[in-house]
C-alpha cells in the first residue's frame, strides 16, 4: 500500500502524478465528519475510487458508502467496508450485486422502473431504494409513481428501505440562498414520495448542497474529500486537496511552456485545469500549454488543478499523499476503476 | 488474449464496453497501408494504446511506431514490436528509454532544447530527432535553432536521425485545400530545419493531413485506425470503427432516456458523444442522457460514438472486436495506458 513511504519526495515521482495534500485531506474529512457525523454522511466513492481513502472515511465515522458502479460495490465489500453499500444507480442485471450480498455485505440498489425492480429481484439483491426524479434530467421515477414501484418491489420479495433523489442540477447554483431554496423545492417532491414509499432512508444531496439540504436523512457527497476548481468556486469549507504534479518539458521563448499533464490525465467536461500564477492555453493528449511570467525552465515542476475531480481520478492508477514538506507519506492504488 | 472468442455476442457484454467494428478496422488498416505503405506511415499508438492493434498495424506493413509516452515505448519493445520506436515527445529523464534501447529495441526520442538533448545523452538513448515548432503552440524548437541543437546532440555522442514537426493545429482545418496550403507553409519550415540538421527522417503529419502532407518522409497518424466524430467530419476515407456499447438503464416518459456511458468512459475535450438517431443532452459521471423518437426501453442497447478517440480509449481496460453479426471475435487489453 505504501511502496514510497517515508523516503520519496514529490519531486522524484514520475509525472504526471496524482497527488493529495495530506493536510487538506485531513481537514476535509474532519470538517465533513463534524458537519454530518456518522451515518448522516454516506460518502460517495465515485469521486475517488480508492479503497484506502474509503477506509479513511469509514475511520472518520461514516459506516455506509454510496457507489455508482457495481465494481465499486464489489471492491468495498471485498475490502471489509461492506457494512451498508448503496448503489445509487440503476442496473438491469443485478446478479453481481446479489453475489456481493451473498458474501455477507449489506447491498441496496436504486430502482426507478418495473424493469429495474424485477432485475433486483432476479439478481437476489434483497434491499432497494426507490430513486425519485427531483428535477435533474437523469434517472429516477416520477414522484407520483414511487409508491406503486415500492409496492411492486415488496410483492417481488424485496425490502424497500426508502427513497433517494439527487438534486444534481443544483450543485453549483449560486448564490447559496438560491441553492437552498431550490433544494427545498426538490426535497418536497422527495419527501412526498417518501410518504408513499415508506422506509426510513431519505438519501440525496452532494458536496454542493451538503449544508443546505436539511431534509434528507443522509447526504451522498463525494467530491468534498478531494475537491476541484468547479466546487472550489462555491466557497465551501473544504480545501483543494487534489492536484497533478507535472514536469515542464518544453519552453518556447515566444511566450509559452508545456508540461506533461494532458487529456489522458484530466477530466475535461468542466473545462481546462488551472495552474496557479499561470494562464492555461489548452490541453492535448499528453500536454498542457500555458503562459506565465517569468516562464519556467525545462525540468521545473508545476501543480495542475483539475476542474472536475471524478473523471480525473479515473484516469490514474494511483494517488500519492504528500506531507507539507512534499514527502510522499502513502501511495494508494485507485483500485475501484472500471465497471 | 481472446477470453470471449467465438461464443459471446456483443449483447452479452458488461456495459459500458469499448467495441471495434472488425470490418471498419480492416478497411482502415488496408486503406492507410495502400496510401502510405510500409515506413511511409509510422502509426501513432497513443490513439489506441493497445498492443494487439499495434501488431495489426505491423502486420499491415508498417515497421515503426510513434509513441507519446515512455510506457508506450516500453510496452511495444517488450511485445517484440521494437524495430523502430520514436517517442515523439520530450522527456527530461530518459533513463527508462535507455533501458529499452539496451534491451535491443531501436529507440529514438524527440528533443527540442539543451535540457532534453542532455537528458537523452544522460539516459543513454542513442538516437534523437530534432523536434521543430511548425506553428502549433506546443513542443518543438524555433526552426532557426534546429541546426545548433543537432550539433549539440552530436557533440554529446547522439546520432541525429533528422527532424519532426507536428502541424496539429491544422488537423481539422476545412476545406481540404486550405488544409493543404497551410500544411505546405508549415512543412517549408520543417524542410529548412531538416537542411540544417541533416539525417534522413522528416517525420510529421497526422490523420487529418495524411494525404495532403507530401513533404515529410513519414506520417505519424494514429486516429485513422479507430476514428471519432471529430475526424469523421473531414470526409476522410476511413470509417468509424470505435464505439461504446451501452445499456439503457432509465427512461422518463417526459422525454428522455439514460444509458450507462458517462464521463469516465468518454474523452470529453471535443464535446459530447453522439448516438445515431438520438439527441445527446449531456453526460455525467456514469450516464449519458439523450432523447429520441420513439424512446427506447429499459434494457435496450445503444451505441455511443465518442468525439475524440484517444482520451476515450485511455479510460478502458479492454476493447472487444465485433464481427458484422455482433459476435465478439477478439478481446484486446488496452495495455499501454498510464505513464
Average pLDDT on B155-167 reads 98
pLDDT of A6: 52
Question: Crossing angle of helices B51-59/B70-78, nearest 10°?
Answer: 60
pLDDT in tens, B28-40: 999 999 999 999 9
What are the tens digits of pLDDT across the range B88-132?
999 999 999 999 999 999 999 999 999 999 999 999 999 999 999
State the nearest Cα–Cα gap between B12 and chain A, in angstroms: 11
**Element housing A146 (H / E):** helix A146-155
Q: Report the Cα–Cα distance between both ends of chain A, in Å, rounded.
A: 22
Q: How confident is the model at residue B1 (pLDDT cuts 50, 70, 90)?
A: very low
Residues of A in Cβ contact (< 8 Å) with B113: 250-251, 298
pLDDT value at position A99?
98
The CA–CA distances, whole Å, from A219 to A3, A191, A208, B50, B124 equal: 34, 14, 11, 40, 54
| Contact with chain A for residue B235, Cβ under 8 A | no
Phi and psi at residue B303, in whole multiples of 5°? Answer: -110, 120
Q: What is the pLDDT of residue B7?
A: 77
Chain A partners of B283 at a C-beta cutoff of 8 Å? Answer: 269
Distance, C-alpha B132 to centroid of its chain: 20
pLDDT in tens, B187-245: 999 999 999 999 999 999 999 999 999 999 999 999 999 999 999 999 999 999 999 99
Grid coordinates representing B190?
520543417
Class of domain B10-17+238-333: mainly beta
Determine contact: B155 vs chain A, CB below 8 A. Answer: no
Which residues of chain B lie closer than 8 angstroms to A315, CB-CB?
A: 314-315
Cβ–Cβ below 8 Å for B284 and A258: no
A300: pLDDT strictly greater than 90: yes
Annotated domain spans of chain A: 10-17+238-333, 37-220
Q: Does A221 touch chain B (CB under 8 A)?
A: no
Query: What pLDDT digit, counting tens, does each position of B300-321 carry?
Result: 999 999 999 999 999 999 999 9
- Residue in B269, B280, B336 to test binding to A, most A beta-carbons within 10 Å: B269
CA angle A190, A194, A196 (to 5 degrees): 120
Q: What is the pLDDT of residue A54?
A: 98
- A77-102 pLDDT, tens digit per residue, is 999 999 999 999 999 999 999 999 99
Report the mean per-residue pLDDT for chain A: 96
Mean pLDDT of all residues in B290-294: 98
Q: Beta-strand (E) ranges in chain B?
A: 17-21, 65-67, 85-87, 107-111, 127-131, 159-165, 201-204, 218-219, 242-252, 256-259, 274-275, 279-284, 287-291, 301-305, 318-322, 328-333
Query: Is the confidence at residue B2, as pLDDT, over 70?
Result: no
What is the pLDDT at residue A7? Answer: 77
**Would you place residue A63 in the very low, low, confident or very high pLDDT band (cuts 50, 70, 90)?**
very high
Question: Cβ–Cβ of A263/B116 closer than 8 Å?
Answer: no
Helix axes A22-35, A51-59, angle to 10 degrees: 50
For chain B, give the percent of residues with pLDDT over 90.
98
Q: CA–CA separation, A103 vs A101, rounded Å? A: 5
Which residue, A225, A244, A325, is CA-closest to A8?
A325
| B50-76 pLDDT, tens digit each | 999 999 999 999 999 999 999 999 999
Residue A325 touches chain B, beta carbons under 8 Å: no
Measured between beta carbons, the chain A residues lying within 8 angstroms of B140 are: 250, 252
**pLDDT, tens digit, 9 for 90 and up, residues A129-183:** 999 999 999 999 999 999 999 999 999 999 999 999 999 999 999 999 999 999 9
| pLDDT the model gives residue A2 | 46
Region A301-310: mean pLDDT is 97
What interface predicted TM-score (ipTM) does this complex get? 0.96
User: Within an 8 Å CB–CB cutoff, is residue A308 touching chain B?
Assistant: yes
**Confidence category of residue A322, pLDDT binned at 50, 70, 90:** very high
The verdict on a CB contact (< 8 Å) between A286 and B68 is yes
DSSP state of A241: -
Could you read off the pLDDT of A242-263 as tens digits, one per residue? Answer: 999 999 999 999 999 999 999 9
What mean pLDDT is predicted for residues B38-49? 98
Q: Does residue B92 belong to the interface with chain A, where contact is any CB pair within 8 Å?
A: yes
Question: Which neighbouring-strand residues pair with B106?
Answer: none
- Beta-bridged to residue A160, according to DSSP, are A128
CATH code at A37-220: 3.20.20.10
Amino acid at each position: 500500500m505504501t511502496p514510497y513511504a517515508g523516503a520519496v519526495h514529490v519531486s522524484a515521482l514520475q509525472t504526471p502524478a496524482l497527488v493529495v495534500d495530506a493536510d487538506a485531506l485531513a481537514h476535509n474529512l474532519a470538517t465533513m465528519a463534524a458537519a454530518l457525523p456518522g451515518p448522516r454522511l454516506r460518502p460517495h466513492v465515485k469521486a475517488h475510487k480508492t479503497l484506502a481513502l474509503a477506509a479513511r472515511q469509514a475511520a472518520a465515522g461514516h459506516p455506509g458508502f454510496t457507489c455508482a458502479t457495481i465494481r465499486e460495490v464489489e471492491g468495498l465489500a471485498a475490502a471489509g467496508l461492506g457494512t451498508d453499500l448503496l448503489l445509487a444507480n440503476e442496473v438491469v442485471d443485478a446478479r453481481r450485486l446479489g453475489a456481493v450480498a451473498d458474501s455477507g455485505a449489506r447491498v441496496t440498489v436504486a430502482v426507478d422502473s418495473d424493469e429495474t425492480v424485477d432485475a433486483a429481484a432476479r439478481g437476489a439483491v434483497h434491499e432497494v431504494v426507490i430513486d425519485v426524479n427531483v428535477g435533474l434530467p437523469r434517472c429516477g421515477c416520477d414522484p407520483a409513481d414511487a409508491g406503486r414501484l415500492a409496492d411492486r418491489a415488496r410483492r417481488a420479495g424485496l425490502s424497500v428501505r426508502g427513497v433517494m433523489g439527487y438534486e444534481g442540477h443544483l450543485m453549483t447554483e449560486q448564490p447559496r440562498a438560491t441553492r437552498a431554496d431550490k433544494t427545498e423545492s426538490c426535497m418536497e417532491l422527495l419527501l412526498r414520495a417518501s410518504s408513499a414509499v415508506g422506509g426510513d432512508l431519505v438519501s440525496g444531496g452532494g458536496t454542493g448542497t451538503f449544508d443546505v439540504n436539511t431534509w434528507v436523512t443522509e447526504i451522498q457527497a463525494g467530491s468534498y474529500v478531494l475537491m476541484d476548481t468547479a466546487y472550489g468556486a462555491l466557497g465551501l469549507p473544504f480545501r483543494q486537496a487534489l492536484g497533478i504534479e507535472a514536469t515542464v518539458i518544453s519552453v518556447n521563448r515566444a511566450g509559452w511552456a508545456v508540461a506533461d499533464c494532458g487529456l489522458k490525465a484530466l477530466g475535461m467536461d468542466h473545462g481546462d485545469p488551472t495552474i496557479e500564477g499561470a494562464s492555461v492555453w489548452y490541453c492535448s493528449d499528453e500536454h498542457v500549454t500555458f503562459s506565465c511570467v517569468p516562464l519556467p525552465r525545462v525540468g521545473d515542476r508545476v501543480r495542475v488543478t483539475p476542474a472536475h475531480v471524478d473523471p480525473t481520478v479515473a484516469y490514474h492508477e494511483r494517488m500519492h499523499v504528500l506531507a507539507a514538506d512534499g514527502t510522499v507519506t502513502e501511495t494508494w492504488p485507485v483500485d475501484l476503476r472500471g465497471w
